Amino acid sequence: MIFARKVWAILVGIKDAFALLFLLLFFWALYTVLTARPNPGLIREGALLLKLDGTVVEEPAKIDPFALLLGQGAPIKEYRERDLVRAIEAAAKDDRIKAVVLDLDTFAGGGQVHLQRIGAALDTVRAAKKPVLAHAIAYSDDSMLLAAHASEVWADPLGGAIVTGPGGNRLYFKNLLDRLKVNVHVFKVGTYKSAVEPYIRSDQSPEAAEALGAVYARLWDDYRTDVAKARPKANLDLVTKDPVGWLQAAGGDTGKAALQAGLVDKLGDSTAFGARVAELVGEEAGGTPGEFRKTELEPWLADRDEDTAGKPIGVITIAGEIVDGDAGPGQAGGDRIAKVLDEALDDDLSALVVRVDSPGGSVLASERIRTAILRHKAKGVPVVVSMANLAASGGYWVSTPATRIFAEPGTITGSIGIFGIIPTFEASLADWGVTSDGVKTSPLSGQPDLLGGLNPEMEGLVQAMIEHGYSRFIGLVGQSRGKTPAEIDTIAQGRIWDGGTARQLGLVDQFGGIEEALAYAAKAAKLGEGDWHPEYLGEEDDAFRSLLVQLLDSGDDDARDSRSGIGGIVAAQQAALAARLAHDVALLSGHGGMQAYCVECPVRAAPAPRGERANLLRSLIGLAGFGARRS
């Protein structure tokens, strides 16, 4: 028996040793994968292929690796706008790159400011006498805005292009809430603070329609101008003013209609398109028909280090909804961003650029970020704000420390107002025979009571806090902009503005992107050209996330195109509706404290998971029974 025990112990020891060895080998292999630089052989003479299978964002969202591993597939890819611009501009100067190719088959879109900046980068490639070629089964507004900057635009014969312009409907819940006897207590300041309207109205107010209509008109005009400049032959009036007549004139053939409107140059499947690219850059040796010599985005970027010469100018990114806590990246957690800024206090930054792409959110979190920025300003560090697609409500709150604010004409800003929403259910419960009673030692005892209702004292207290928050907001803006609170009040009231109008009103100082803001910050810090470099604070390459996404992404073209069928269309519609409903319900019940949030801003809905999204033209084709697939 003793001998058997000893043998068993030896076997267990051997098993444990092998397990430990394999574990060490696994982590060594993982470390090797995560830290390895791309093989130089991956950078090849030919085309730079930008296969944009996802969305363009200011800051890619952080993904929980455990949720990713336990999920149903890879998440939607997110491409940082700055990375794409850097890659494209480098391609314009590198002799190894003969052309830039845009694969927009599964492009899920991005903000208009971001897409226009990428379009300007594509223009530098064409200015360097290099062709830019784009292909998609079907183009919608966002993909067309990028493709317009290409020298050749291809679409699938069963696809085409369609442009709809900004706008659409919102859901209004007042009648439903009345039927359920839910009392929605709304506290707000601002004639135009229409974020609360879905819960107290059954339609849009005239004030909200006026404000949103003006912004949409400016965005649409900006879009049309950009497309017309990049692609003079495109006839958007033909497409948008009489879409039925336009399509009927082409016999219902969407591809032919896109050709006639000048939106695309040629019709052909991916194989024919690839063969055309191969004519320009060379065929892939031993490849299948339609394959061409190429370098893809990730190795191209990894092979090109960002400049770190000179003194650092810090860039802090505030992207997504501003929330309390450590959330992000992809969400602007107030605690996280404040900590990053405080840790940079000892970094001897020459200046600080605050890059904002946010509709706002928590007042408390916005104030935490603002005061952290002020700690840099107190050290004598110049502070400059660069607004991307959105810098509204809380997004403007965090911009107030700046001595100079840059924005684009298509930036949406303003929405200077505060609101709070508290739903109570006393009437709903009464229908089921549930009432409330008790002993109170003061008017505020037990308040706020979501089940028994709010009393007048609590309602008055909350409204007073909201009004004080608004007074503080317009005071901060007035101090920043050199105006009185009364002057700011006339242009605040929760109204949103486009970047051009905001500049006229004094809410923005100058047109320009992040490059112009950095140049201004360098000048303010008395630094010459070549004496500084941008240092993006708190940014780390999430190599583990990238690895998991690649492992979970099958790359199956058939799977990519299956969403053009009716099943994919229904799934995409359900996902978009569910996302919007979840957002509205969260606004009604999930936010704590005062909110400086621009719900009325035309923010795009989050894309559905991979394999479940489709643009309008794909949907129409699918419903017509075509089910187009890649060749």
Q: How does pLDDT run across 223-280, given as a tens digit for each residue? A: 999 999 999 999 999 999 999 999 999 999 999 999 999 999 999 999 999 999 999 9
Please tell me whether residue 624 adopts helix, strand or coil conformation.
coil
- Which of 191-200, 441-450, 487-496, 612-621 is most confident? 487-496
Residue 561's pLDDT is 45
One-letter amino acid at 310 equals: G
Peptide bond into 329 cis (omega under 30): yes
Residue 573's pLDDT is 44
The average pLDDT across 537-552 equals 61
> Quick one: 44-164+229-302 is in which CATH superfamily?
2-enoyl-CoA Hydratase; Chain A, domain 1 (3.90.226.10)
- DSSP secondary structure of 400-425: TT-SEEEE-TT-EEE---EEEEEEE-
What's the chain's average pLDDT? 84
Domain locations along the chain: 1-36, 44-164+229-302, 311-433+444-536
The average pLDDT across 329-341 equals 95
Of 257-266, 457-466, 588-597, the one with minimum mean pLDDT is: 588-597
Give residue 610's pLDDT band: very low, low, confident or very high (50, 70, 90): very low
Question: Residue 266 to residues 51, 201, 254, 256, 293: CA-CA distances in angstroms?
Answer: 19, 48, 13, 9, 21
- Distance from chain centroid for Cα 322: 13
Interacting residues of 62 by C-beta distance below 8 A, sequence separation 6+:
328, 329, 330, 542, 545
- Distance from chain centroid for Cα 586: 19
pLDDT over 80 (residue 618) = no
Name the maximum alpha-carbon separation found in the chain. 93
The average pLDDT across 131-135 equals 98
Catalytic residue among 193, 350, 399, 415: 193
Identify whether the C-beta of residue 388 lies closer than 8 Å to the C-beta of residue 476: no
Identify whether the C-beta of residue 322 lies closer than 8 Å to the C-beta of residue 398: yes
Nearest to 394, CA basis, from 438, 362, 441, 427: 362
How far apart are alpha carbons 382 and 480 in whole angstroms? 14
Q: 129 an active-site residue?
A: no
- Identical fold for domains 44-164+229-302 and 311-433+444-536, yes or no, is yes
pLDDT over 60 (residue 464) = yes
Instruction: Using DSSP bridges, classify how beta strands 383-392 and 351-358 pair: parallel, antiparallel or unpaired.
Output: parallel
Residue 113's pLDDT is 97
Residue 360's pLDDT is 92
Question: Residue 95 to residues 98, 100, 120, 296: CA-CA distances in angstroms?
Answer: 7, 12, 20, 16
Name the strand (E) or helix (H) holding 124. helix 112-127
Identify whether the C-beta of residue 369 lies closer than 8 Å to the C-beta of residue 334: yes
How far apart are alpha carbons 101 and 205 in whole angstroms? 45
Of 188-197, 225-234, 350-359, 414-423, the one with minimum mean pLDDT is: 188-197
DSSP state letter for 273: H
Burial group, residue 249, by CB count within 10 angstroms (0-12, 13-18, 19+)? middle
Cross-strand partners of 362:
595
Q: What is the pTM of this model?
A: 0.85
pLDDT over 80 (residue 18) = no
Q: 15 an active-site residue?
A: no
pLDDT over 70 (residue 201) = yes
Give residue 611's pLDDT band: very low, low, confident or very high (50, 70, 90): very low
One-letter amino acid at 245 equals: G
Residue-wise pLDDT tens digits, 72-99: 556 688 999 999 999 999 999 999 999 9
Identify whether the C-beta of residue 576 lies closer than 8 Å to the C-beta of residue 605: yes
Residue 477's pLDDT is 97
Given its phi and psi angles, is residue 286 left (phi above 0), alpha (psi -120 to 50 degrees) or beta? Answer: left
Catalytic residue among 140, 393, 564, 619: 393
Q: Which two tokens stand for residue 86?
A: 């850097």
Residue-wise pLDDT tens digits, 488-522: 999 999 899 999 999 999 999 999 999 999 999 99
State the distance between the two ends of the chain, measured CA to CA, in whole angstroms.
69
Question: Residue 255 to residues 252, 343, 451, 618, 619: CA-CA distances in angstroms?
Answer: 9, 55, 58, 12, 15
The average pLDDT across 307-329 equals 92
Of 44-58, 299-313, 576-590, the one with minimum mean pLDDT is: 576-590
Quick one: what percent of the chain has pLDDT higher than 70?
78
Q: Looking at the domain that runs over 311-433+444-536, which CATH code has it been given?
A: 3.90.226.10
Interacting residues of 165 by C-beta distance below 8 A, sequence separation 6+:
141, 216, 220, 223, 240
Long-range CB contacts for residues 233-237, cutoff 8 Å, separation at least 24: 233/262, 234/148, 234/261, 234/262, 234/263, 235/261, 235/262, 236/163, 236/261
Give residue 68's pLDDT band: very low, low, confident or very high (50, 70, 90): low
Beta strands in 522-561 (DSSP E): 532-536
Q: Which two tokens stand for residue 82?
A: 């700055």
At CA 230, angle to CA 225 and CA 236, rounded to 5?
55
Residue 613's pLDDT is 41
pLDDT over 90 (residue 615) = no
Instruction: Using DSSP bridges, classify how beta strands 532-536 and 311-319 pair: parallel, antiparallel or unpaired.
Output: parallel
Q: Which two tokens stand for residue 490?
A: 């006339």
Nearest to 482, CA basis, from 417, 400, 552: 400
How far apart are alpha carbons 288 and 571 in whole angstroms? 33
Residue-wise pLDDT tens digits, 344-360: 998 889 999 999 999 99
Quick one: what percent of the chain has pLDDT higher than 90?
60
How far apart are alpha carbons 514 and 387 in whole angstroms? 8
Q: Which two tokens stand for residue 104?
A: 């927009």
Q: What are phi and psi of 550, to 5 degrees?
A: -65, -40
Name the strand (E) or helix (H) holding 217. helix 206-230
